[in-house]
Amino acid sequence: MDVLEKDLHFMQLAIEEAKKAAALGEVPIGAIIVYKNEVIGSAHNLRETSQNAVTHAELMAIQQACNKIGSWRLEETILYVTLEPCPMCAGAILQSRVPRVVYGARDSKAGCVDSLYHLLNDSRFNHECEVTEGILAAECGQLLSDFFGNLRKEKKATRATTGRKAIPFTKLKSAVESFLCEPLQGRIELRAAAYRHSHDERSRVSLTLDTEQIFSAADLSYINEHFNLAEQLEKELKLERLSAEELAEAQLKEQGIIASWHLYRALAQYPNLSIADALTSENPLIRSYALLDRRVGKRKLKDMNVPQHSLEKRFYEIRCGAEGIHS
């Protein structure tokens, strides 16, 4: 392959990484680092999922590449990224001595390679990069346009349904907990693990029973499998080349973060649902919480079949235990 063919091939791989970010609700940016025609680092934006400002695609790809070759100097490598790097990532590129950067779309608001500054070609630094821009720029830009277009539609739909951008956590907590049956009032709580702003749709929330977390590791796995994230999550974490013990710990942490996001979104819908709709919802989190609802009486609970799925079965058993019903 000539240089252009290689650039097109590896940029397509970066685009596939960006699509993974989009699937997680992240801004779709992907990065690939290539050494002698071999991919030694691949990552996508995870800033919202991790709630960590430095988990940009380029930084994580650089970290992987350094671990792969056992050196902080990434000489003879090429970094491919779908969006023009920001100042933080441009700085990391210089520090890691990447000799060539190829990017897709320009970033007029934060790009520091060509748009706002020319950090990678500033002779005052002790390192400069060869830069190639515009490789698959239209496709890279379309990913971003589609993402933000869909985000605007979702926000508009939320405002149309609820009359506001999102439910503040304190009101959500009050509304959701008000549905609990009497024996569980005060025992089950919706808690915010990392609550910042009332408009943050990704507030880290959890459900507790007598101050203990309700969700087990198996429950978290089930939630994320339902949303088709388990396989992708495992693949991403394995790229970090963790030990078996570290991998298991990281999987549990990431499962908890993603499941928390889905829990928040599910419970934000809950106050607007009838109990019939909640019990038959396609979302297992909504169906599970409905089993704790005071609108499900003891007689109806006794007539129910024991749920087969682990998550719903766990909530069913919590309710039966609180009501003194032998399931």
Active site residues: 58
For 138-200, the DSSP string reads HHHHHHHHHHHHHHHHHHHHHHHHHSSS---HHHHHHHHHTTB-GGGTTTEEEEEEE---TT-
Helix axes 244-269, 217-226, angle to 10 degrees: 70
Residues 14, 32: contact at Cβ < 8 Å?
Answer: yes
Phi and psi, residue 81, nearest 5°: -145, 145
Helix axes 217-226, 310-323, angle to 10 degrees: 130
Residues 37, 66: contact at Cβ < 8 Å?
Answer: no
DSSP 8-state class, residue 306: P
Residues 205, 169: contact at Cβ < 8 Å?
Answer: yes
Report the candidate in 7, 107, 98, 25 with the shortest Cα–Cα distance to residue 61.
98
Taking only Cα atoms into account, the Rg of the chain, rounded to an integer number of angstroms, comes to: 23
For residue 85, the SS3 value is coil
Report the candidate in 161, 70, 56, 150 with the shortest Cα–Cα distance to residue 112.
56
Residues 120, 113: contact at Cβ < 8 Å?
Answer: yes
